[in-house]
Structure formats: C-alpha cells, structure tokens
C-alpha cells in the first residue's frame, strides 16, 4: 500500500510541473489567437459587408504595407464635400463590415467622410494579426491618408473602440501624423494588455508576464500632442475593461482639450447605445475646427 501511494505521489509530483509547463507554453504560443479573434463571429475572414448595403457610396481600396501585406479599406467620401473625415479603428473581433452601422451614423447623420480598414489578418486583409504588424498597418494608413487628394485636406478624427482605442493612441503619436490628425475619440480602451489580463482572464493573471502583445497606452498617451482634442467614453459597468483604465488614461492625457463622458449603465459592447452617447460624440467632433 505504501509503495503504491509513493508511486502515485511521484506521478502527481511529475504531472504538476508538466501541466504548468503546458499552460505556460499555451499562453505564450496562442496569445495572438486570444487577443485577435479575427474569425469571430464565424466567417469574418470570408464575408465582409459593404457600405452599399447601407445605401452609402464607397470605394474599396487596397493599401500596401512596408512588409508586403495588403490591407482592405472602404472610403466613404461625401459627394458634396465635407470638412471632416472619421477614421474608424475597429475592436479586436470581426471585420470592418461589422462597423458599418457606426459608419452610417457619421456619414449620414453628421455628413462626414468615413474611412475604415481591416487590420492585417482581419476580413480580407492579408497576413496575421500581431502588435508589431498592426503598427506597420498604422504607418501605411497614415501615409495613405496624408497623400489622399481629398481626405488630406479635411480634419481627420480617429475613432477607436476597445483595441481600436489603443491603436488610435499609437497612430496619433506617430511623427508622420503630426499636422494630420485633428482629434481622437476613445471608447472603453485599456492601459495595456498585460494590465487587462487579470480582469479578462483572471486564472492567467500569474502568467501575464509572458504576454508579448503589450499595446502600452498608459505609457504612450503621455506623448500625445497637446493640441489634439480627446474624448474618452467609458461604460461604468464595463465587464472587460475596468472603467479605472479609461479614467487613468484621461488623467495622463496631456491634451489641452479633453473630456470624459461616463455612462452609468454602459457595458463593454453596449456603451455605444446608451442615451446621450451619440450626442456627446457629435458635439465633440463638431467643435473640432475644420482643416485650414
């Protein structure tokens, strides 16, 4: 009996470190799949809705990145002209087609141009998603917008939700964005991926040090140009991104004009439908001066 228990104890003693090693390997190896679920909802890599479904004229364009990936984008330019362009930066799931109901608000209700693109590895864009690659996407999009004969002559406002907020902060701090970006709207975005893990995946909190995908907005937002107005939107019942993350980003933001709009009943994905959400967004963007 004693020898049997000893063998069992020895087996357990061996299996525990093995399981721990597998967990560590799994977190490290598959983190991009967890952070960038580009095939959710199912079929998101194959089926991408088009603006014409919303009775919006558009151009389907392809932007080449410096490392050879091809990003698909929709340009929705007002036929009668507009003095502002909203660049939409999508959350971490789905593709740009899922953001078209929001694009409709900006295009039809506000009368602005809209530009939206799928990051690498999303929708019909090539490649696979990871932080350094998406940062190259940002460079490519900024360069494209800067050379655009119509959009470059408008005030460009970045609108990012969740992960899109982190991408917006990065894009707005690029040297090539200086003088191009006129405003920033950030909804339910986070301080960094490692600081988000304890809230989203509490069981993996001890392994957050293995996360190589950082998106360190807490550090980067300090370098935002002071002349870029920023609107922070926060759902107080956000179950994924603690509202304290948005509050801290607001406090750290050096912008001369910044606002924090909080929605008492807003959760992570439904803040956008809370009362006064769109009136806050519209009022903020309207106050941004047109590009001279």
Give the start-to-end residue ranges of the domains of the chain: 1-287
pLDDT of res. 173: 98
The pTM of this model reads 0.90
CB of 189 closer than 8 Å to CB of 165: yes
Longest dimension (CA), the chain: 88
Active-site entry in 162, 192, 234, 255: 162
Indicate the SS3 state at residue 225: coil
Q: Is 162 a catalytic residue?
A: yes
Query: What local confidence, expressed as pLDDT, does residue 4 receive?
Result: 56
Q: Of residues 118, 130, 238, 245, which has the active-site annotation?
A: 238
Residues with pLDDT less than 50, the chain: 5, 7-25
Q: How much is the pLDDT for 292?
A: 66
Q: What is the CATH number of domain 1-287?
A: 3.40.50.1820
Q: How far apart are CA 114 and CA 285, in angstroms?
A: 13
Res 28: pLDDT: 55
- pLDDT for position 208: 76
Single out the catalytic residue among 49, 98, 152, 268.
268
Burial class of 99 by CB neighbour count within 10 A (0 to 12, 13 to 18, 19+): buried
Contacts (Cβ under 8 Å, ≥6 apart) of 72: 48, 60, 61, 62, 96, 117, 118, 123, 124, 125
Q: What is the pLDDT of residues 253-266, one digit of tens each?
A: 999 999 999 999 99
Supply the pLDDT for residue 291: 84
Residue 135 is predicted with a pLDDT of 99
> What pLDDT is attached to residue 209?
76
């Amino acid at each position: 009996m004693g020898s049997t228990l000893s063998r069992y104890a020895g087996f357990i003693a061996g299996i525990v470190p093995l399981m721990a090693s597998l967990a560590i390997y799994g977190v490290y190896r598959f983190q991009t799949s967890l952070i960038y679920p580009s095939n959710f909802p199912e079929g998101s890599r194959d089926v991408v809705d088009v603006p014409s479904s919303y009775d919006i004229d558009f151009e389907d364009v392809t932007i080449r990145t410096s490392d050879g990936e091809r990003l698909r984008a929709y340009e929705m330019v007002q036929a009668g002209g507009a003095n502002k362009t909203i660049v939409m930066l999508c959350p971490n799931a789905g593709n740009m087609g899922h953001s078209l109901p929001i694009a409709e608000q900006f295009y039809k209700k506000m009368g602005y141009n809209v530009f939206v693109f799928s990051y690498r590895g999303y929708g019909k864009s090539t490649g696979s998603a990871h932080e350094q690659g998406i940062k190259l996407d940002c460079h490519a999009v900024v360069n494209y917008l800067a050379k655009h004969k119509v959009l470059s002559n408008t005030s460009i406002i970045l609108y990012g939700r969740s992960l899109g907020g982190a991408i917006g902060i990065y894009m707005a701090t690029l040297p090539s964005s200086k003088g191009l970006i006129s405003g920033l709207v950030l909804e339910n975005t986070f301080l960094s991926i490692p600081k988000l893990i304890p809230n989203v995946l509490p069981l993996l909190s001890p392994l957050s040090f293995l996360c190589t995908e950082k998106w360190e907005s807490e550090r980067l937002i300090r370098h935002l140009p002071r002349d870029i107005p920023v609107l922070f939107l926060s759902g107080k019942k956000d179950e994924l991104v603690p509202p304290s993350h948005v509050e801290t980003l607001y406090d750290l933001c050096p912008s001369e004009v910044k606002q924090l709009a909080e929605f008492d009943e807003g959760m992570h994905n439904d803040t956008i439908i809370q009362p006064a959400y769109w009136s806050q967004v519209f009022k903020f963007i309207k106050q941004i001066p047109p590009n001279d």
